[in-house]
Amino acid sequence: MGNSGSTASYNFGFKNTYSKQHCLIPLQDLLKSSAFLVDDSCVFGVEILKIDVSSPEKKAVVVHKKATTVQNIFVQKKGFIKGTYTWTMDNFLELDLKHFVSSPTFEVGGHKWYVGMYPRGNKHSTDCLSLYLYLDASDELHLESKKVVLMTLSILDQKNGKHLTVTSGLLVFTGTHRWGWPDFLGLEKLKDPSGGYVVGSSCVVKADLTIVGSSNDG
């Protein structure tokens, strides 16, 4: 991209079907780049590989390179839709006994969301608190054109101000209704009396959500 006609590239560095945060380009790096972002638009190219593992003789895996598919993702510098929701649980010790608890719904960008928590971990984690952002079941965002969002979930340190904050990479809504981390915070650290994550029976979780744009062409 750019006036010279050359193509800017970025190594996303993942080899699996699921990419974690470190495999994605940071949003601020994207917005500051004159090579990736031109006239407020950005183009992502995806190279698809087909792996043939059906050989009965268990021969070496054969990888066939397919044609590159390009999809335009329009990212506007201005007009981001941002929202913050703070969930204060004054009865956390009571909620801690439950398998799953959720916050009241809140609205960002005309859509309904809620924070979900597994106080003792879910099936993917048994020694950590699991924390997720959910799209409310009554909302139809997942049926629309692919929205691009950035989210941050935090547990506030009520004593020392050293909040635990985890930010996702850019997320594209393609039918999934939940995003988050099964191992958000170890239970031992969560309940450490010297820390400020649980004070008395109070625990405070904050969700910051930015709707960046849409991944639809045109």
- Is 78 part of any domain? yes
What are the tens digits of pLDDT across the range 114-142?
A: 999 999 988 888 899 999 999 887 766 55
Structural domain span for residue 119: 74-215
As a whole-number percent, the residues of the chain with pLDDT over 90 amount to 34
pTM given for the model: 0.64
- Domain assignment of residue 9, yes or no: no
Q: Is residue 4 part of a domain?
A: no
Cβ neighbours of residue 201 closer than 8 Å, sequence gap 6 or more: 90, 91, 92, 93, 94
Domains in the chain, number: 1
Structural domain contains residue 67? no
* Angle in degrees, CA 177, 132, 83, rounded to 5: 85
44 falls within a domain: no
What is the structure's pLDDT at 56?
A: 52
Residue 38 lies in a domain: no
Res 174: pLDDT = 65
What is the mean pLDDT for each group of 10 consecutive residues in the chain (218 residues)?
47 44 61 67 52 50 49 54 94 91 91 92 88 82 66 94 90 75 94 91 94 61
17 within domain boundaries: no
Q: Is residue 110 part of a domain?
A: yes
Q: In the prediction, which pLDDT does 140 show? A: 65
Which residue type occupies 214? S
Q: In the structure encoding, which two tokens stand for residue 196, read together?
A: 């400020």
Query: CB atoms < 10 A from the CB of 6, how many?
Result: 9
**CATH of residue 185:** 2.60.210.10
